[in-house]
Structure 1
């Protein structure tokens, strides 16, 4: 597993498919999908005093491990016919097209912790084993990431590699078309999480490149139960505080039930996950709120590795509610003391990272906090915010040099659109939102005072997006005490930050909890990091 985040309140996380509509031809045992790629542009860039060439292919981002040439790669998501597994994968490429020679392709940089000493940041270094070679890189047109399940639908994930580089000569080629042929055989593995619900089919169609193969699942005639949509899982002592939220969702057409750890039989994360899986299969749920802090209903601590390069950041105790959302497998295939390792998925592959249910946590420890969470949530769902168009960007000094010396450039990439790093993104449209920038880079003395952000929050900003340094009790230049003593905003905000540790909800009452459930002001929901952030 690569990353984990803390979810406070009901936050829907949306995945996205990479661009380029494929054309599809499917049969019972073979799936064929065609992918097209536009001719890339090559531009020169200066990094750490060294001149490199950057490849920009529309809609296909550059990626790789640290030190490898940064080349475009596209994710392919191919649905396997029901009851089958992969026997072999073939790629039929179009004739490759030369883009010229003499190029020195920029290498992928090494990720570092956002909280690390800025002196540890360094320019990317080419891997000499690759850059001193005359062997084409990459040698193959695809990398098999593995098969993962989504609500019983089996999805093959491939990394397609349409650009090839010969380092010693600097030659660069691209393939305008790649045809992926997946040969399958009957599988003895059962699709235990397949429910056959129409809503599941609608969701999987958003995630795959070969929609025609959905018919093989529909043809099974399986149709699971659908009793309610949302499960609020809490304790008997806190259940009453969540009743108004259940009533609200019931009235809005999202049938909801409140269950407790007494129903589960314990608060052990493994038992909780099994219980959620049972409710998913037998009641048809889509949403789960964990209505308790970590000391009441613990999160599962997972193994997390930042990347596949030679110097990855590794932690062994990332608190991760994704364990309650992704229901395939045990997350501990090898049976050791570490959960969520890259070989802990079914059959020794990577763990399941496609969520069957959407999970959020209300990190409440008593009825006062639970009532506050419920009141804030209902307030926002009733559309009572008077300044929905107001967005606040808050960027600090980072100290990593170049464009990462300050957070300003990174945050500006989230406004409208950007194609800064060899891939394109769409962000917050400035013609629909009023975006206010508060940046150390632009502030006299390069250090905006906390009073400036407090004032803006109290004015009623709707969205608060921050990038800077932090700790369990500190973020956005505010301490927990500043939240409690200085915030008076009636228009509550949604807060998001890439700072380290401010979402560290296990073992302490963290900054995010103060912002969400310790005060009547602050935010109605947020997304923050539980442990240090890795910053490429």
Structure 2
């Protein structure tokens, strides 16, 4: 990053010398169908597909076309112009509906219909006078994006004439700026995921190529950062380990470490600088703030909207990493020209105050993601209240339930695969929170959407003290936890402490909600109609899920905002943009299909020193397999068309323990398995240390002991060699003894003698002993040193002597009882290429037939067919003449038959 910063300084200096040399422009053409006119109570609504109905309060409500164009690297928009053909008369004598005054959704007695702006409606001046507006530049991961509005419909209020333009060509003039150059130099990322976000946001995706190719990621990538206090961090360990196991690379840092390590004007600034550091140097995508505001402070953004103003708690501060959100250094953070509306990272918050709430959050999240009640996943619940307005809550909610194209924008509703219940107040019915809604929530609908009056301690007609584990029974086993979304006012005001706000209660108790999107200040609606600002964000949230397939909840919430970025010049929209915070894990995946499942297979154990792990029977292509031990990821891989995965580990397994293995794929329940890591024992003990041999040579006694302390028998190679004084390695002085069977809970030792020739060079020698797979796979190692005097320039000629008790397999001293029945003890190695050893036990003498078949049932080999004594037996299978694939072996001994599977990979 220092190189990027240096380049940035040079370019900024050049820019200061020649500010206008680099000016450029981009052009884009928009086409429009003929608008329709809909009359409501004597007022006309102009309908034009894809052009959202918007205007300042009291002014003619006309279609507006969002402009979102990708700018040249290092530049920002400075002006916007439009070229049109001749306008087309749509009609005359038309009174266009005025835009309604947004009201706080908590208002019980809102003002009546907003009247026409007399100054505008009594004039015959063309409205709007300009065809463009709200031009601004924001930056997403170093990409400059211009947003603004064009107005394809114009109106003469006095005569009532309405015109539209079938085509509008927009030109945005650009030039380099300090902020744009800094964004490009310091925050640019070109991963596939980032490019997908950028091209999905802009109307000129072909310009993406101007930012260069995908950048190779040669750094440690962190998808998710968990920030919490040192006292709470241990309670997130299982959550973090599970994320890593499911291929969501997760790291953590305590607030204490951040405050001690990072600079900043206050703790919030230090936390944001930490996030920026991990974004720049580790491609961070998500942040979980694991603590309430006493543990992790919030930043409050100031907005004035009509007669209302507020300091809005907003975790967007930690996600939008350009600038500092307070350019002029006053007490008003997040003013319009200071904001960074495109978030580089997605932020969620778990408002845990103590270990109980932290454990509740982690448990609910992991259960919902890994082991939900599958039959309840494709369910929803729409909840609407009588707000005392002309429009019922049900009218708002049905636009989301069914999907809607009202007010000139289309959002997709729940698909037919979902079962959606509704609970609506009407003129003759008012539902009860405890008696009606509570049982429905306890049934575990996945998605719950609400509109109604609320406050910090009241939402969905519940009071805060009713949100308890006694009142809610959905525990993730009998019924699912739910994901909530409410337009209600202030219910998500997470800066409220002692007591906490009601949405915090829903998400931190052991039942109820696994995640919730809610307002930290007023939600905004209109008393007549449903074209309120909060409704726009609500509709876009569910459209992200069902229309755009954006199902990671942090990105879902972000998309509902960026779909509205062209209108953030309207303070009511900006208010909503800031206040919609996610209470939950930002990487939480919303289920949109009934998930399938894996039936993967792994061996029971693996030896230390292993460098790969094989998972079979995945039966799906491109499933991700992650292998971890003690919370550390050792390697990951993808399943092949054959339905298996061979995971190459970053390093050989160093010690005994348990491997955790997970197989994951989108819309498939994760599969978890464990393998025991066995560390064979080997000990080399010289008889009379220290050993110092004269220059004439000599001999000494030593003992080699090999052990298997596990409950699993296995075969391995045993060998010993020498490290010479010049660090070269000799040929084996014992073995290699190949295919040595180490029975379960067995140990054996041998006394040996090593004869050292007098002509051998003087110096220090090391006698090395190994258990593993000769010559490269080492599962266990032991050694001792000895010295030979003299330095006569002679060299090693390999003529030393080594003798003593043999390590032949037939001489094994088994110290454990034979199994109660015959058994295929081991196929090793498996997978193999091209030979493997099949070992088995027999309780008594009898006739044995051991045969191998391919998957079509064709017999490919008969390995044993005759009488065998009781005890242990081993046979080699050579598949050199066979194709790669899965083979079945069958052992028949008397009336007993056993089968198994082995994989040959060439």
Q: Specify the TM-score bucket, using the shorter chain as the normaliser.
A: 0.7 to 0.9
Q: Which structure would you say has the larger RCO, counting Cα contacts within 8 Å and 6 or more residues apart?
A: 1
TM-superposed CA distance for 1:369, in Å, is 0.9
Of 89, 100, 116 in structure 2, the residue corresponding to residue 98 of structure 1 is: 89
Shift of 1:83: 2.2
1:74 aligns with 2:65: yes
- Contact 1:79–1:154 (8 Å) recurs in 2: yes
Say whether residues 1:428 and 2:418 are aligned partners: no
Match status 1:254 vs 2:248: yes
Report if aligned partners of 1:224, 1:284 keep a CA contact under 8 Å in 2: no
Could you say which residue in structure 2 is the equivalent of 1:493? Answer: 482
> Which residue of the other structure, out of 505, 513, 516, is the alignment partner of 2:504?
513
Query: What SS class does the counterpart of residue 253 from structure 1 fall into?
Result: coil
Instruction: Provide runs of 4+ in structure 1 moved above 6 Å.
Output: 219-224
Q: Is the 8 A contact 1:416 1:427 kept in 2?
A: yes
The answer to whether residue 201 in structure 2 is matched with residue 207 in structure 1 is yes
Q: CA RMSD in A?
A: 2.1
185-194 vs 64-73, which moves further? 185-194
| Structure 2 residue matching 1:270: 3-state secondary structure | helix
Counting only pairs closer than 5 Å after superposition, residues 126-205 of structure 1 correspond to structure 2 as 126-188=116-178, 189-190=181-182, 191=184, 192-205=186-199
Query: 1:87: how far off?
Result: 4.5
Deviation at 1:223, TM superposition (A): 6.9
Structure 2: which 5+ runs fail to align? 1-21, 261-265, 527-906
- The whole-number CA distance in structure 2 between the counterparts of 1:85 and 1:319 is 29
- Is the contact between residue 67 and residue 125 of structure 1 (CA under 8 Å) also seen in structure 2? yes
SS at match of 1:206: helix
Question: What does residue 30 of structure 2 align with?
Answer: 35
- Separation in 1, partners of 2:197, 2:28: 20
Q: How has the CA–CA distance of structure 1 residues 263 and 195 changed in structure 2, closer, same or farther, with 3 Å as cutoff?
A: farther
1:265 matched to 2:259? The reply is yes
Query: Could you tell me whether the CA contact under 8 Å between 1:79 and 1:213 is conserved in 2?
Result: yes
CA contact (8 A) 2:55 2:99 kept: yes
1:52 partnered with 2:40: no
SS for the counterpart of 1:441 is coil
Q: 1:487-514: CA deviations, max 9, x gaps?
A: 1113211111111122121132111111
Q: Give the length in aligned residue pairs.
A: 488
In 2, the alpha carbon distance for the partners of 1:223 and 1:437 equals 47
CA offset digits 1:104-145 (Å, max 9, x no partner) = 000000111111231x32102111121111111112221143
CA distance, structure 1, for counterparts of residue 511 and residue 213 of structure 2? 52
TM-score normalised according to structure 2 size: 0.52
What is the deviation of 1:182? 2.2
Superposition pairs of residues 306-325 of structure 1, within 5 angstroms: 306=305, 311-315=306-310, 317-325=311-319
Kept in 2, the 8 Å contact 1:496–1:528? The answer is yes
Counterpart for residue 331 of structure 1: 325
Counterpart of 2:397 (choices 405, 411, 419) is 411
What is the deviation of 1:322? 0.5
Structure 1, unmatched stretches of 5+, are 1-26, 346-350
1:439 aligns with 2:424: yes
- Structure 2 counterpart SS, 1:196: coil
Deviation at 1:529, TM superposition (A): 1.5
Pair 186,393 (structure 1): closer, same or farther in 2 beyond 3 Å: closer
Cα distance in 2 between the residues matched to 1:179 and 1:219: 29
1:397 is the counterpart of 2:386 = yes
Contact 1:391 1:464 in 2 (8 A): yes
> What SS does the aligned partner of 1:213 have?
helix
Structure 2: distance between partners of 1:251 and 1:455: 35
Structure with greater Cα Rg: 2
Whether the aligned pair in 1 keeps the contact of 2:190 and 2:213 (CA below 8 Å) is no
Q: Which has the higher strand share?
A: 2
The separation in 2 between residues aligned to 1:377 and 1:449, in whole angstroms, is 25
Residue 346 of structure 2 aligns with which residue?
358
1:342-370 deviations in whole A, cap 9, x for unaligned? 23x1xxxxx11111100000110111111
SS of corresponding position for 2:401: coil
Q: Determine whether 1:527 maps to 2:517.
A: yes
1:239 aligns with 2:225: no
Distance 1:91 1:29 in 2: 16
Show the counterpart of 2:440.
456
- 1:110 pairs with 2:105: no
1:209-228 pair list within 5 angstroms:
209-218=203-212, 225-228=219-222
Question: What residue number does 1:381 align with?
Answer: 369
* Distance 1:158-1:270 versus aligned 2 partners, 3 A rule: same
1:227 to partner: Cα distance:
2.2
Q: Is the Cα–Cα contact under 8 Å of residues 80 and 135 in structure 2 kept in the other structure?
A: no
Q: What per-residue deviation string (whole Å, max 9, x for no partner) do you get for residues 215-254 of structure 1?
A: 2211697978452111111111111111111111111111
Give me the TM-score of the superposition, normalised by structure 1: 0.87
Moved more, 241-250 or 150-159: 241-250
Give the Cα separation in 2 of the matches to 1:329 and 1:255. Answer: 27
Q: CA deviation at 1:334?
A: 1.6
Deviation at 1:407, TM superposition (A): 0.9
